Amino acid sequence: MNSYNVAIVGAGPGGIFAAYELKKQKPELSVVVIEKGSALHRRKCPIDGVKIKSCINCPSCSIMNGFGGAGAFSDGKYNITNEFGGDLYKYVGADEAIELMEYVDAINVENGGAESRLFASERPDIAKLCLQNDLHLLKAKVRHLGTDINYIVLENLYNQLKDQVDFVFNTEVQTIEREGERFVLTCPKEQFTADKVIISTGRSGSKWMESICQSLSIPTESSRIDIGVRVEVPYDIFSDMTDALYESKIVYRTKRYQDKVRTFCMNPHGVVVSENTNGIITVNGHSYEDPKLYTNNTNFALLVSNHFTEPFHQSNQYGESIARLSNMLGGGVIVQRFGDLIRGQRSTEDRIENGFVTPTLKATPGDLSLVIPKRQLDDIIEMIEALDRVCPGMASDDTLLYGIEVKFYNMQVEVDDNLETCVPGLYVIGDCSGVTHSLSHASASGVYAARKIAEK
């Protein structure tokens, strides 16, 4: 049996920065990081577009799992703000939350991100234009590493930590039990014991996290789920915003239902990609910092937030059922022209090919109205028409909509101001806690929990 002072479950941003800070604060502590996915250099999706054209449901998805977590192959956006990305500030204080995120940013810069750009949403002219059209631009500083530089930063962090921390890859923790003053973590082939445990399994670990909370009687609350589409338009449509801000976080309240719709994960010159979450194929977007890898398009998500109340408590299962329906009809991701959607007709290969927007993801032309519930679809259409007033061309017939995009949120795990559960010594951080929903907040929560453990 392997014995450690601290065991970290999950090598995503929260787990990485928790390990980093633990070794900085208390070098003498023995730390193990247990990750169900692979090491960074072994993470590779088998889809090559030639021999393998769609998801083959690998035992562990290399896009979602492994060192760096689901953010490893994202476009590497670290949003330094309390306005979105999570509620960390409610636990640690608004000023300290920003300080933690800036601390994470400094580490990323030191580890290969020095050439990346830092954007700020201080553009009163753009904010005013949005407000005049009932759109609300959220403020943030945005560090855009890009998928390429993000990989380099992660590689450097791993090389820095590998001789100080034990990394155990391709190993899933099945159970966590409290035995006396210590924890026992049981895996398929071995067990680990630790004085303290930090859980940081991200959104993809939501089902597993639920089982751990049940077994240890940790209180939880039902959370929300975001359902929507990934939009792809010519780069010039949003260039005024993206050139100045890069990440335009815009929120709109629909007139018809009073629902909130938001833009998410904007990728200028980016590509649309598919990803596998618990066996379900959904859509996402990436972008690169290297101009050689630019495309002529910009993509971003339009997401409708769904908050559920008692007695319903299966928000993730609700989202999964919609995603499975999309997979059933399209064999994976469905793509539809906005004009076809409005006219109530499915898109075809010919209509896509004859359009003026060249898709960056090979998806199945289809009809999203057969997949997305009417209320959410009405919200998305209304948001597109609102955005068209500030970015003319957004509501073009040829605007591409990929479906579906689902953001699964972990149930809200009850933690105190130290991010510690009711089980002494067990901390839950990052997106699996329901407290954070972004790279920057998840990383900052890892630093914060590590400091609290070091203090004890």
CATH code of the domain covering residue 44: 3.50.50.60
Q: What radius of gyration, in Å, describes the C-alpha atoms of the chain?
A: 21
Residue 134 within a domain: no
**What's this model's pTM, rounded to 2 decimal places?**
0.79
d(CA 262, CA 3): 46
Say yes or no: 62 and 182 in one domain. yes
> Does 376 lie in the same domain as 335?
yes
| 249 and 307 belong to one structural domain | yes
**pLDDT for residue 49:** 67
Residues 6+ apart with CB under 8 A from 65: 35, 36, 37, 38, 204
CA distance linking residue 97 with residue 395, whole number of Å? 38
pLDDT (0 to 100) of residue 311: 65
Residue 173 lies in a domain: yes
Domain that holds residue 278: 224-408
DSSP string, 279-313: TEEEEEEE--SSGGG--SEEEEEEEEEEE--TT--
Q: Are residues 12 and 51 in the same domain?
A: yes
> Are residues 294 and 353 located together in one domain of the fold?
yes
What residues have CB less than 8 Å from 114, skipping those under 6 apart? none
pLDDT at residue 285, rounded to an integer:
92
Q: How far apart are CA 316 and CA 80, in angstroms?
A: 27
Spell out the residues 6+ positions from residue 19 whose beta carbon is closer than 8 angstroms to its own: 8, 31, 33, 161, 165, 446, 450
Domain assignment of residue 122, yes or no: no
Q: Which residue has the tokens 């580490």?
A: 107
Same domain, 283 and 188: no
Within-domain flag for 253: yes
User: 261 with 345, same domain?
Assistant: yes
* Count of structural domains within the chain: 2
Same domain membership, residue 234 and residue 315: yes
Q: Are residues 210 and 230 in the same domain?
A: no
Mean pLDDT, contiguous 10-residue spans, the chain (456 residues): 93 97 97 95 80 77 86 84 92 97 97 89 86 93 88 96 96 95 95 97 85 94 85 96 87 96 93 84 88 95 83 75 89 95 97 96 96 96 98 98 86 94 97 92 98 94
- Residue 235 domain-assigned (yes or no): yes
- Say if residue 171 is in the same domain as residue 97: yes
Is 304 contained in some domain? Answer: yes
Same structural domain for residues 98 and 172? yes
